[in-house]
Chains A and B, each alone.
Chain A
Amino acid sequence: MGRPTTAARLRVGVARFTSCGGCQLTLAGLHEALLAVADRVDIVEFAEVLSPRSSGPYDLLLVEGSVSTPDQARRISELRRQARLLVTIGACATTGGIQALRNWSDGDAWRAAVYPQPQFIHALRTSTPISEHVTVDALLRGCPIDPGQLAELVTALLVGRRAQLLDATVCMECKARGTVCLISSQGAPCLGPVTKSGCGAICPAFGRACYGCFGPAHPANVEALKAQFADQGRSDEEIGRLFAGFTANAPAFRANARPPLAVLDQPPVGPEPAARISHGFPGVPPLTASGDDDARQ
């Protein structure tokens, strides 16, 4: 307990909100590297793996999932107070996730459609990113996040340097990988030109169009891509559906997404994202066990 001293080990927590659990499992997916990390830090909170619990404080808190219930909205504020650095991981935490498609709907009607007795279910009408509720220090994108990016981030934080994460589009990663462009060769509805790099351009390499699970690149020329899709003969309805995926609620996609059951043109606009870093990767202050955020630049 108390502030870590130079000799103290960093206290790391993993918290889950509304999600599938895949991003926190990516930690387990680091395999043997996970043990190396566990040797260096104290993982004090990770309910899906550890029985002992800690409500803080944390030097680093990784947050997965979106805010979609009244309890979660209260809990994230408390967690923020307990965390020196709060890093959101994955499409749900950074954009609201696939469940944010209900933001275009009448949420009560959806609840009634799934549950015979909807009055038992306590949920907010919207699913929103963590950054709409508290300040976020850094984020990792993707549905799910990329294990290499996670390892780079955690390593960088542990040794006190900046994480080196490519800030480009999926197109760049296709070129680096030598994948033939699916738009120019097949007329595929690929979101690669407007989607943030980080996955390694998996989908085109596996013969299918990118579906934008890392969210919008910055900047993202969505209008030009929509025009290209229209030239391919795609309807407005189809183009709207293409953007209505796992990161539909991200600002650059939101106005272009049309989920099939939408009753609203756009979801209600939340407060400006509070994230200190809204794209790319960050000027995250290096995390040192001294507790002095600016100790090393």
Chain B
Amino acid sequence: MHGSDLPGGGAAGPGSGDGRSGSAAPELRFEVEELTRVEGEGSLRLRMRGDEVVEARLNIFEAPRYFEQLVRGRTPDEVIDIVARICGICPVAYQMSAVHAFEDLFGVQVDPEVRRLRRLFYCGEWLESHALHVYLLHAPDFLGYDSAVAMARDLRPLVERGLRLRRAGDAIIAAIGGRPIHPVSVRVGGFSRAPRRTELAALRPLLEQALDDAVATVRLAATFETPAMERVARLVSMRHPDEYPYNEGHIVSSDGLDIELPAWRDAFSEYQVEGSNALYARASDGSAYLLGPSARIALAATQLHPLARRELEATGLADEIAANIFRSVVARGVELVHAAAEALELVEAYRPPDAALVPWTARPGTAAWATEAPRGLLFHRYELDERGRIAEAQIVPPTSQNQAAIEADLRVFAPSVLRLSHVEAQRRLEQLVRSYDPCISCATHFLDLTVEEA
């Protein structure tokens, strides 16, 4: 946990510390044994020698749950219920990736209103997840508090605004899916029940308020002072010609990748690292890449709702969002505006589908799809046997894909905090990790932050 601060960040001072012989500079360590204000259990370790980062590791010690095994032998509809339980923050994302994968394999064409309802469903999840992260987890870093509870003592209206936004998202999910966490109505072929028009119309006042609150969020987030950071990251997200990406589109990147959703494995792969209960993912050429709100804004801003695009432009931070992960809080704000604005339009235009649920027949083969979870692209792949049961599953959550990028960013950022006190340096490093909104429950089969200064 500590070690003396390096004097002046000196590059090659004599190794006086820790009885280590033969090394040019004493090793400086930062460790955060349990990251707080992130979803799940992980830790950070950073070891430095002078300005050189010897090791940057995000370890995930969240207990494994073996979801890829839990779904084997199950029917597609059972899988939709089971994979929701990977994450209490983004169950909708898991249900959406799975249901689209199965429908793609089975050749199911859902009712156009069902397609729109699924976009609305996803708007709900982005609202509740981004509001939770921006206000309850992340804003305290920028405003000098150690929690939203402490922040609420001085800035109660701010916390209330976050809770209102979250409630709007929860209300959408519950109206469509019965409850905000682990909703029950998603089925292959549509929904087991479609809401009545009046049920969605009842959401309008909440959503109008949410839109105002979301706009206020961007304007607040744009005023946050962030540490300087410049890195050239490979950004990856989905993109669709006509709409901001939720359930459909292509996988694209900042360096020209453009592939179909089921083809994720053509460009990316997973591997395991000792000490972590998560599998990492990297591009096939071994490089790290960044998913999530910042990547989506960089790659798909032209499809943002006009109100969201206007707010993004007014911040003047579009370029910085792509280069400085601390600005992800602004990106989340912009996406809150998008989600609230689109949800409002979908609710106003809603007509119950003629067929909430269309019939389908299972067939063997490979079902693969990706959707845009709040934290980024979530890829599912299932092998189905002759009975239409799962023979094999692969689930690649956004946080395990971001893990390599988080570690790469730690290496870039770490030298800039060496002159700070140990406590402050550690706080900044933790803030960096929090900026990715890591979801550790998701990544386990995934996070641990120990910073060692070597």
Contacts and interface: CB of A to CB of B under 8 A. Distances in A.
Interface of A: 16-26, 28-29, 31-32, 34-35, 38, 43, 47-53, 68-69, 72, 97-99, 101-102, 105, 110-111, 113-117, 120-121, 123, 127, 143-144, 199, 202-203, 205-208, 211, 213, 241, 245-246, 259-261
A188 to B, nearest CB: 11
A159 B41 CA distance: 33
A261 B69 contact: yes
A114 B445 contact: yes
Interface stretch (B246-254, B269-277, B402-410): B269-277
A202 B184 contact: yes
B384 to A, nearest CB: 13
B74 interface: yes
Given A31-B167, A143-B85, A211-B81, A49 B148 contact: yes
B159 A35 contact: yes
Given A32-B163, A123-B63, A110 B69 contact: yes
Interface in B75-90: 78, 81-82, 85-89
B182 interface: yes
Nearest to A91: B85
Given A98-B82, A203-B178, A246-B85, A50 B147 contact: yes
Given A23-B88, A38-B152, A31 B166 contact: yes
Given A31-B166, A49-B148, A241-B78, A22 B91 contact: yes
A29 B180 contact: yes
A208 B64 contact: no
Contact of A98 (B68, B70, B192): B70
B178 A69 contact: no
B63 A28 contact: no
A120 B66 CA distance: 14
B72 interface: yes
A51 B299 CA distance: 33
Nearest to A34: B163
B85 A114 contact: no
B192 A20 contact: no
B160 interface: yes
Given A101-B70, A211-B81, 8 more contacts: A22-B87, A28-B136, A48-B37, A48-B38, A144-B88, A205-B193, A206-B185, A260-B73
Interface string B401-429: 00000000000000000000000000000
Contacts of B272: 115-117, 120
B69, B86, B163: residue with the most chain A Cβ atoms closer than 10 Å: B69
A126 to B, nearest CB: 12
Contact of A32 (B160, B271, B389): B160
Given A22-B182, A260-B73, A207 B87 contact: no
Contacts of B63: 17-18, 68-69, 72, 123
Given A32-B163, A47-B34, A144-B182, A99 B88 contact: no
Interface residues on chain B, size class: 35 or more
Contacts of A208: 184-185, 187, 192-193
B66 A99 contact: yes
A273 B409 CA distance: 47
B372 interface: no
Interface string B85-104: 11111010000000000000
B156 interface: yes
A265 B313 CA distance: 62
Nearest to A92: B85
Contacts of B81: 211, 245
Contacts of A113: 66, 68-69
B441 A20 contact: yes
A260 B74 contact: yes
A20 B88 contact: yes
B149 interface: yes
Contacts of A199: 179
A253 B441 CA distance: 27
A17, A19, A116, A207: residue with the most chain B Cβ atoms closer than 10 Å: A207
B181 interface: yes
A199 B178 CA distance: 10
Contacts of A245: 81
A109 to B, nearest CB: 9
24 contacts: A16-B41, A17-B63, A19-B88, A20-B86, A20-B87, A21-B441, A25-B89, A28-B136, A47-B41, A49-B147, A51-B146, A52-B147, A97-B85, A101-B70, A113-B69, A114-B69, A116-B272, A120-B272, A123-B63, A144-B88, A206-B185, A207-B193, A208-B193, A261-B73
Interface string B148-167: 11001000100110011011
Interface in B153-208: 156, 159-160, 163-164, 166-167, 170, 177-182, 184-185, 187, 192-193
B137 interface: yes
A208 B184 CA distance: 8
Contacts of A23: 88
Contact of B149 (A17, A50, A53): A50
A19 B63 CA distance: 8
Given A98-B85, A203-B178, A207-B192, A50 B65 contact: no
Nearest to A25: B88
B192 A21 contact: no
A52 B73 CA distance: 44
B442 to A, nearest CB: 9
B36 interface: yes
B333 interface: no
Given A206-B193, A208-B192, A22 B88 contact: yes
B85 A20 contact: yes
A48 B182 contact: no
B64 A123 contact: yes
B181 A26 contact: yes
A202 B132 CA distance: 25
Contacts of A102: 66, 69-70
Nearest to B390: A260
- Closest 8 pairs (CB-CB, A-B): A260-B73, A22-B88, A207-B193, A21-B88, A207-B192, A202-B178, A51-B146, A50-B147
B408 to A, nearest CB: 22
Contacts of A50: 36-37, 146-147, 149
B148 to A, nearest CB: 6
A48 B177 CA distance: 25
Contacts of A114: 64, 66, 68-69, 445
A259 B136 CA distance: 38
Contact of A21 (B40, B156, B179, B185): B40
A29 B36 contact: no
